[in-house]
Amino acid sequence: MAAPLITFRQVSKVYGRGEATIRALDRIDLTITQGEFVSIMGPSGSGKSTAMNIIGALDLPSSGEYIFQGIPTSGFDRAQLTLLRRHMLGFVFQGFNLLARTSAVENVELPLVYRGMDHTERRRRAMAALEQVGLRGREGHTTQELSGGQQQRVAIARAIVTDPAVLLADEPTGNLDTKTSGEIMDLITRLNRDNGITVIMVTHEEDIAAYARRLLRFVDGHLVSDEIQASEAAHVV
């Protein structure tokens, strides 16, 4: 059995005080291993986004322990959390979050700029990532010259250009039509299957969640179900 990649031990997240207290997560135990494809679902206020933010080192638990690759993160300072995000995690958002009036390849290069990589190597890696997501020949196009689906492909290329262990996708098809959503999910499925990238995805759409092998459901800060799916939607040829 693969070693745990991500572990929550009795993780809670509490906001506010007194009567204004909100318990966004309540003593969550969770283990995700390398190479899994996990969907997270739940109604508004269920805790799914809070869980994703903690996994992404964007927020910290109020209590309990978040362990990444066997290392507790509770002792990490801000710089160490930044390094965890920069080197181990890739992020894809519903709103794409691309730089306007900037070419596709320059958007993809951005995480490598933060790493201090020289121009020649980061351009080579960015071009390879764009080819991997099916955008060869579009590297010079700005975001305004790309469709919504193409912009999301650029965002995915930017997320994988650093060879992360985990791809965190927050409603990755929320701004896309049905056909384009299927194409993006086929791409994410291929990255999980062929590259071994662990995928953790928040979605409110059952048909999108069906692409994952495992489905977690949150309600009122509790993890109420953890199911293995047949994943019939993951039909990439």
Chain position carrying tokens 């933060």: 114
- Average pLDDT of the chain is 93
> What's the mean pLDDT in 149-156?
96
**Which residues are within 8 A (CB) of 154 and not within 5 positions of it... i.e. 6 or more apart?**
96, 98, 104, 107, 108, 130, 133, 135, 143, 146
Q: What share of the chain is helix, strand, coil (3-state, %, to 5)?
A: 35, 30, 35
Tokens describing residue 177: 């039509």
Q: What is the pLDDT of residue 161?
A: 96
Mind listing the pLDDT tens digit for each residue in 91-146? 999 888 999 999 999 999 999 998 899 999 999 999 999 999 999 999 999 999 99
> What's the mean pLDDT in 159-164?
96
Chain position carrying tokens 């930044």: 82
Domain spans, the chain: 4-231
Options 3.40.50.620, 3.10.110.10, 3.40.50.300, 3.40.50.11690; CATH for 4-231 is 3.40.50.300
Percent of the chain, pLDDT > 70? 97
Per-residue confidence band for 159, with pLDDT thresholds at 50, 70 and 90: very high
Per-residue confidence band for 234, with pLDDT thresholds at 50, 70 and 90: very low
CA distance 231 to 237: 14
**Residue 233 confidence (pLDDT) above 80:** no
> What's the mean pLDDT in 160-185?
95
- Type and span of the H or E element at 127: helix 119-132
**Residue 153 confidence (pLDDT) above 50:** yes
Chain position carrying tokens 């900037």: 102
For residue 193, give the amino acid letter: R
Query: Strand 4-15 relative to strand 89-93: parallel, antiparallel, unpaired?
Result: unpaired
CB 138 within 8 Å of CB 98:
no
Length of the chain: 237
CB 54 within 8 Å of CB 66:
yes
CA distance 136 to 68: 34
Q: What is the pLDDT of residue 199?
A: 98
Percent of the chain, pLDDT > 90? 89
Mind listing the pLDDT tens digit for each residue in 181-211? 999 999 999 999 999 999 999 999 999 999 9
